[in-house]
Amino acid sequence: MKNFKKVLALLLAAIFVVGILAACSGNGGGQQGGGEQGSEEQGGGEQQTTPEEGGEQGGAETTLKVGLICLHDENSTYDLNFINAFKQVCSELGLVEGESYFIKVNKGENEECYQAACELVDSGCSIIFADSFGHEDYMLQAAIENPDVQFCHATGTKAHTENVANYHNAFASIYEGRYLAGIAAGMKINAMIEEGKITPEQTKMGYVGAYPYAEVKSGYTSFYLGAKSVCPTVTMLVTFTNSWYDETLEKTGAQTLIDQGCVLISQHADSMGAPTACEAAGVPNVSYNGSTISAAPNTFIVSSRIDWAPYYRYAIDCVKNGQPIDVDYVGTLETGSVCLTEVNEAVAAPGTVEAIEAAKAEMQAGTLHVFDTANFTKGGETLTSYLADVDDMGDFAPETEVISDGYFHESEYRSAPYFDIDIDGITILGE
Amino acid sequence: MNSAVKVPLVHITRRKNIVWYRAWIVRVVAVIMALILCGIVTMLLVGANPIDVYKTMVVGNFGTARKIWFMLQDLAILLIISLALAPAFRMRFWNLGGDGQALMGCLGATTIMILFRDSMPNWLLIICMLLAALFGGALWAFIPAFFKSKWNTNETLFTLMMNYVATQLVAYFVVFWENPKGSSKIGIINQRTQLGWLPTIGGNKYILIIIVAVLLTVGMFVYMRYSKHGYEISVVGESEPTARYVGIKVRKVIIRTLILSGAICGLAGFLLVSGTDHTMTTTLVGGRGFTGVMVAWLAKFNPFFMVITSFVLVFLGRGASEISTMFGLNDSFGAILTGIILFFIIGCEFFLNYELHFRHGKNKEVQ
């Protein structure tokens, strides 16, 4: 027992030494002498001190630092899509995670986002991206307070009305990608009729949406129109989860739609809920944000997604070269921002790839418009005029005429979608 | 081993008294052991240098002046909610509804902020928001307290369930006031006019909140230690029959204490809406109502110790977030480290309250 005590004493001594070392090196990295007690006065005293970037890196002033703020982490397909693109562009530029690029995950749509943005500014970032719609007000606030740093907010709507020079919005013409994915869905349904699996009267698709918001409505309408272009009898049932990420709700939502007789499911929500529900029920699924083939090898057809890499490349280049960044950036098929994953030939109807390529070529040639007013009706009528609430001032008052030349001009007057018409053929569950 | 009486391998007895400094040595050793285990886990799982990881945690909290302010604000809100829970827990009333009570505070403040922003001067608007928040929080605590005192319902379940009701109510009103339509978010309220926003002190919106937390800490200490109410609370907590015997109206004490508890949670909600976030979301309180339970318990309901325990929890949380950013890890890794550290901190309380006696070795104690 005496030996035991000695060993224990030695061990404790060793632990203390390690502990003290840890504490010392820890304080060295932060502000000098910043013990727990002294921190409060210190914060007040050094309020104007600039961050310590220069001192630490010495000659490496030319190193650009960039940051990304995400609502969730890589378990969300939506955030993963941003994170992957961001990491890809950063590694192309030779940036290193934790040194010259930073990703802040699980930042809520409140003060957390503002704080994350400020901390990225303090880390020396000269351009900061955020990925969630609800981050907008907090990014804007940080942009106003930090005029030397560029703030780029994906999916937001306020840049073109707020006139804050260092605040920018970005989106992509993803409705084109969804339309193409819709073609794959329509062809699958046609194939199912031919195989005798369903009758032509059962051509009902289901769609799990996040919020009844223009971004989602524009998405599911373009998906529906794509399917309708090859399968004219198709109808669609939509359910909302009222959350961007809720695996359980998305799963039960998809299941409800399947129980209601939907023969194919697509979704605009960010978890694996809908794809896994489809796989379990053996119902084909058209995905979003990226391939879900690993979770649903027997039901996954294709997925449309926005590739954010072209935007990141563009915006970071602008900062490097001292050029202004677009107030509203819209990525397109040409820029490579709108893309489809590989088609899962095992599930998709034969000829899907060719049909998608043909439609894509037409879109790029300008001969095919997704929201062509000849292809949809509202209340049985073809629309010739529609006012959309493009300048999102919180007044809920539509002011911009968006139908001309026979089609609805989506994502032209601002980057974020504003198509919010409930067209015929689409029913919202419970309405 | 021939003895007739079977002696168990380990037997546990309650520790009678432990000198305060020995107790603190045990706690410090526990934290150090936790840090060492975290270091081993970090090296094995991530391959990162544990010293760097701890350094990152410190930088995450104290790296820049701005970070310190953020940390202090976080600390202040957690502390206020913990202080709110303390009197209820001291009374052995398990108020697990801190989240819901604070959310109702948020809802109260937001309602006034949106509905009356054009119809009264700003100072009056802020006061009305505060009153509405206090009322919202107090109401959400009063309901379970009333049922407890009247029909002896289980307050643990009741307060817990009230959280969900509050979350759903907030979700409803978020949709009700959503902007833009269909987006299910309110965004920053009165961003242009700043109506209903707490004034900043020297351009810093956190100082006022920190001052409120400091005042409340002292106030709660005095209330629990020196006031008649505080005495009644501890008597009810020790033994209800005794309290009844000495003429304390137990029902009244329960309801009064819970109204206080809920109102202070509501105050935290008010500070979030009016002071920092200027919005309302269902996740605005962020589980602080539950973290606060741990803060209060670990500090044995002493408000000054609660400053330390809430600092530890805030430090760990913010440090973990910094680790995930700097090392390119998922937030979960930070949560693992936090879990290990809390396990040791809570675990050492066991050794402070109980002694272990092993069968061989003549009742040698372990700690």
CA distances from residue B74 to A139, B208, B307 in whole angstroms, order as listed: 20, 13, 12
A31 touches chain B (CB under 8 A): yes
Among A16, A111, A134, the residue with its CB nearest the CB of B276 is: A111
Q: How confident is the model at residue A171 (pLDDT cuts 50, 70, 90)?
A: very high
Query: Looking at the domain assignment, is residue B312 inside a domain?
Result: no
Share the mean pLDDT of chain B.
90
pLDDT at B49: 86
Residue B92, domain member (yes or no): yes
* pLDDT of B352 strictly over 90: no
Which residue segment(s) compose the domain that B126 sits in? 78-305
Report pLDDT digits (tens) over A267-287.
998 889 999 999 999 999 999
Q: What is the pLDDT of residue A6?
A: 55
- Pair (B24, B136) in one structural domain: no
Cβ separation of B64 and A122 shorter than 8 Å?
yes
A120: pLDDT confidence band, cut at 50, 70 and 90? very high
Alpha-carbon distance A119 to nearest alpha carbon in chain B (angstroms): 7
pLDDT value of residue B324: 86
Q: Which residues of B27-47 are buried (b: 16+ CB within 10 A; e: fewer)?
A: bebbbbbbbbbbbebbeeeee
Q: What is the pLDDT of residue A1?
A: 44
**A62-154 and A174-428: identical CATH topology:** yes
**Rounded average pLDDT over B56-71:** 92
Confidence of residue A252 (pLDDT cuts 50, 70, 90): very high
On whether both B135 and B89 belong to a single domain, the answer is yes
| Tens digits of residue pLDDT in A315-370 | 999 999 999 999 999 999 999 999 999 999 999 999 999 999 999 999 999 999 99
Please answer yes or no on whether A106 and B181 come within 8 Å at the CB atom.
no
Q: Do A213 and B184 count as a contact with CB atoms less than 8 A apart? A: yes
pLDDT at A77: 85
Q: Which of residues 197-216 of A touch B (CB under 8 A)?
A: 211-214, 216
- Position B298 in a domain: yes
Any chain A CB within 8 A of the CB of B287?
no
Residue B208, chain A, CB below 8 Å: the answer is no
pLDDT at A32 over 70: no
At A244 the pLDDT is: 83
Chain A closest-CA separation from residue B150 CA (Å) = 38
pLDDT surpasses 60 at B108: yes
In terms of CA atoms, which chain A residue is nearest residue B186?
A134
Cross-chain Cβ contact B180/A392 below 8 Å: yes
Contact A30 B181 (CB under 8 A): no
Q: What pLDDT sits at residue B187? A: 87
Residues in chain B with CB shorter than 8 Å from the CB of A396 are 180-181
Residue A5 has a pLDDT of 55
Choose among A29, A105, A115: nearest Cβ to B59.
Answer: A29
Q: How many helices (H) and strands (E) does chain A have?
A: 13, 17
Contact status of A91 with chain B (Cβ, < 8 Å): no
Q: Which of residues 75-94 of B touch A (CB under 8 A)?
A: none
**B342 and B216: one domain?**
no
Average pLDDT over chain A reads 86
Which of B36, B58, B328 is the closest to A29 by Cβ?
A: B58
Number of domains in chain B: 2
Residue B22 in contact with partner chain A when CB distance is under 8 A = no
Does B5 lie in the same domain as B112? no
Asked whether residue B94 is domain-assigned, the answer is yes
Can you read off the two tokens belonging to residue B47? 């391959």
- Do residues B37 and B126 share a domain? no
Q: Is B51 within 8 Å of A19 when comparing Cβ atoms?
A: no
Q: Residues of chain A with pLDDT > 70: what percent?
A: 85
Q: Which CATH architecture has domain A174-428?
A: 3-Layer(aba) Sandwich (3.40)
Classify residue A350 as left (phi > 0), alpha (psi -120 to 50) or beta: beta
Does residue A42 carry a pLDDT above 70? Answer: no
pLDDT at B62 over 70: yes
Statement to judge: residues B89 and B30 lie in one domain:
no
Contact B284 A110 (CB under 8 A): yes
DSSP, res B366: -
Nearest CB partner across the interface for A74, out of B61, B311, B330: B330
Is position B127 within any domain?
Answer: yes
Predicted local distance difference test score (pLDDT) of residue B47: 83
Kindly tell me if the per-residue pLDDT of A49 is higher than 70: no
Interface of B with A in 212-271 (CB under 8 A): none
**How large is the average pLDDT for residues B345-362?**
79
Mark whether B334 and B299 lie in a shared domain: no
pLDDT band at A303 (very low <50, low <70, confident <90, very high): very high
Is the model's pLDDT at B34 over the cut of 80? yes
State whether residue A145 sits within 8 Å of chain B by CB: no
Determine the pLDDT at residue A30.
35
Cβ neighbours of A122 in B, within 8 Å: 63-64, 66-67
Of B56, B58, B286, the CB nearest to A27: B58
Kindly report the number of other CB atoms within 10 A of residue A365's CB atom. 8
Q: Which of A108, A119, A394 sits opposite B67 (nearest CB)?
A: A119
- State the pTM of this model: 0.83
- Average pLDDT of the segment spanning B355-362: 71
Q: Do A103 and B328 touch (CB under 8 A)?
A: yes
Band of residue B81 on the pLDDT scale cut at 50, 70, 90: very high
What is the pLDDT confidence band of residue A3, given thresholds at 50, 70 and 90? Answer: low
- Assess whether B149 and B206 both reside in one domain: yes
In a domain, B139, yes or no: yes
Looking at the structure, do residues B28 and B108 belong to the same domain, yes or no?
no
Name the residue among A406, A400, A366 with its Cα closest to residue A383: A406
Percentage of chain B beyond pLDDT 90 is: 62
Domain boundary among B288, B305, B322: B305
Same domain as B227, residue B337? no
Is the CB of B171 less than 8 angstroms away from the CB of A34? no
Q: Where are the domains of chain A?
A: 62-154, 174-428
Which of A4-8, A91-95, B303-307 shows the lowest per-residue confidence on average (mean pLDDT)?
Answer: A4-8
**Is residue A168 predicted with pLDDT exceeding 60?**
yes
Any domain includes B208:
yes
Question: What average pLDDT does range B200-227 have in this prediction?
Answer: 94
CATH number given to A62-154: 3.40.50.2300
| Res A243: pLDDT | 84
Residue A28: closest C-alpha in chain B: B55
pLDDT of residue A47: 38
CA nearest neighbour of A167 among A133, A129, A197, A199: A129
Q: Residues B324-351: what's their mean pLDDT?
A: 85
pLDDT of residue A344: 94
**In this complex, do A137 and B191 lie within 8 Å of one another by their Cβ atoms?**
yes
What's residue B45's pLDDT?
Answer: 85
B181 in any annotated domain: yes
DSSP-assigned states of every residue in B63-107? SSHHHHHHHHHHHHHHHHHHHHHHHHHHTT-----HHHHHHHHHH
Q: Which of residues 239-278 of A touch B (CB under 8 A)?
A: 242
The mean per-residue pLDDT over the stretch B93-108 comes to: 96
For A59-87, the pLDDT digits (tens) are 444 689 999 999 998 888 889 999 999 99
Which amino acid is present at B309?
A: T
Q: Specify whether B184 is located in the same domain as B254.
A: yes
Interface pTM, i.e. ipTM: 0.85
* Facing residue for A211 by CB, picked from B66, B69, B183: B183
Place of tokens 């869905």: A185
Task: State the smallest CA–CA distance between residue B53 and chain A in angstroms.
Answer: 9
Among B289, B305, B321, give the residue marking a domain's end: B305
Which of B290, B305, B320 corresponds to the end of one domain? B305
A154 burial level (CB within 10 Å; 0-12, 13-18, 19+): buried
Judgement on whether residues B242 and B180 belong to the same structural domain of the protein: yes
Distance CA(B289)–CA(B96), nearest Å, equals 7
- Choose the weakest-confidence range: A309-323, A346-360, A405-419, B21-35: B21-35
Read off the pLDDT of residues A194-225 as tens digits, 9 standing for 90 and up: 999 999 889 999 999 998 888 999 999 999 99
Give contacts of A47 with chain B, Cβ < 8 Å.
Answer: 65, 204
Q: Is the pLDDT of residue B354 over 80?
A: yes
